[in-house]
Structure 1
Amino acid sequence: MSISVDIQNDVALITMDDGKANAVNFDLMIALNEALDKAEADAKAIVLTGREGRFSGGFDLGMMSGFTREDSVRLLDRASELVLRLYGGPMPVVGACNGHAIAMGVFLLMACDTRIGAAGDFKLGANESITGMTLPVFAVELARDRLSPLHQTRAMIQAFIYDPKGAVEAGYLDMLVEPDKVIGQATAIAGQLAKLPGHAYAYQKSAMRKPALDAIRASIGNHPNLRKLA
């Protein structure tokens, strides 16, 4: 997994690029947390993006093929902690979705404060009801907070996969731009957010999202409804 960090004008551009689907596994989460460490130390806002055409395809199914229940618990705990860091962390985070975002990929996108998407033939959504997996607590809480109530059943229970225009309507994205403008637009917004007083931004973010953040924290190490992820 290759994750790069480029800091300019108080904005840290974190790019995920494994040359394939940017599958979420333990290595990616370790590398992403290290990138966030650097961003939090040296910048005032973050842009999180993927490779061309692909934000993230979700959990690494190849890695999970031999998982025990204990392995699945450990993966969900690390994913929950990463969501907490993005969704509840003090810094502004702008998601630059330059392609597909599926399952855990779309949840990472939803954990960003502002989400810019690429117009085009891309798919975004949660497919857990199709693959037979149960939604983790962080997915349920993000959906309650971020998706339009009119789309929550269709998106989370019925596993509808949206195109970018539909993803804006549903609440997965905040706006669309042409693919070659995604990074520029996200960086410009992050630059504006970086100028806000950091202590106030951090407090408002934590206070507004407290019910969801508390529920996600309480779920770590506690997954009574979990079946093996693969």
Structure 2
Amino acid sequence: MGEARVHYEFSDGIAVIRIDDGKRNALPPAAFHELNAAFDRAEADQAIVILTGREGVFSAGYDLKVLRGGGPQALNMVRLGYSLTPRVLSFPYPVITACSGHALAMGVFLMLCSDYIIGTRGDFKVAANEVALGLPMPRVGAAVLRHRLTPAAFERVVNLSEYFPVEEARDAGFFDEVVAPDQLMARARAHAAAYAELDMRAHAATKRRIRRELIRTLRRSVWVDVAEAAWLGLQAARRKG
């Protein structure tokens, strides 16, 4: 087994889930298993979650080596990633993303499922660049992006794979606020402490109520997107043959 890519720390009712592979925080199947296990622990701990990455990068999205390799492993990775989005959206305690740098593709989808998102000032980019990679925007990704972004930004993100600098990303709806790198975790913890005053049963019930249709759409779309990925992989294999 390789080293863990996802690290869990719990104290004072707050769970910090940190993605750190020492590189670009690409997400192979193992990373999604670790993320699900971390959210299981956070739910058992009845914890407010701070989801973050390593210095300079939140996540580059799916592991492109696995994706380009195709076959069952790639399809399993796609299924695991897309299935995590409704899990985070329906998590019964507040989820804060402290975006520590670049965020791309599946990394963006995961980030946008949080209740509150803090960006980091710096020379960082945010993009859902599937079209630039030659992939139709998945239904899951489009639904998550539509949930958070302004209509004009949504079109530029989905159809044109536009890369957004941090300040523009905030205006587009990717972030709720942007802070200096040395303030990121302190600011996330301050929000977590404030959210601890909420009635968590009311929070969970309200979250399920206002996101019910989105969550249903995502759960249905996972399987359609996986089937489409399988079909695209088959077509690519035939072209190579």
**RMSD between aligned alpha carbons?**
1.6
Q: Aligned residue for 2:176?
A: 174
Aligned length: 229
Structure 1 position 9 matched with structure 2 position 12: yes
Given that residues 9 and 191 in structure 1 are in contact (C-alpha distance below 8 angstroms), is that contact kept between their aligned partners in structure 2? no
Please tell me whether the aligned partners of residues 52 and 100 of structure 2 are also in contact (alpha carbons under 8 angstroms).
Answer: yes
Structure-2 separation of matches of 1:96 and 1:216: 23
Question: How big is the shift at 1:55?
Answer: 0.2
Unaligned runs of 5+ in 2: 237-241
Q: Find the aligned partners of 1:53 and 1:220 in 2 and give their Cα distance.
A: 30
Q: Deviations over 1:135-192 (max 9, x none)?
A: 2222111111100112111111111100110110111111000001111111111221
Structure 1 gap ranges (5+): none
Q: Amino acid of the residue matched to residue 162 of structure 1? A: F
8 Å CA contact 1:53, 1:100 repeated in 2? yes
Amino acid at match of 2:180: E
Find 1:85's aligned residue among 73, 84, 87: 87
Query: Can you list the C-alpha shifts for 1:68-110, whole angstroms capped at 9, x where unaligned?
Result: 2x44432222112211111122111000001000111111111
CA–CA distance in structure 1, aligned partners of residues 82 and 90 of structure 2: 11
Partner of 2:239: none
Select 2:66's aligned residue among 57, 63, 70: 63
More helix by share: 2
Q: Does 1:51 align with 2:63?
A: no
When normalised by structure 1's length, the TM-score is: 0.94
| Partner Cα separation in structure 2 for residue 189 and residue 87 of structure 1 | 18
Deviation for aligned residue 1:222: 2.7
3-state SS of 1:14 partner: strand
Asked whether the equivalents of residues 118 and 176 of structure 2 are also in contact (C-alpha less than 8 Å), the reply is: yes
Identity of aligned residues (%): 35
TM-score under structure 2 length normalisation: 0.90
Bigger radius of gyration, 1 or 2? Answer: 2
List, as ranges, runs of 4+ consecutive aligned residues in structure 1 with deviation greater than 4 Å.
none
Instruction: Give the corresponding residue for 1:183.
Output: 185
The higher-RCO structure (CA 8 Å, 6+ apart) is 1
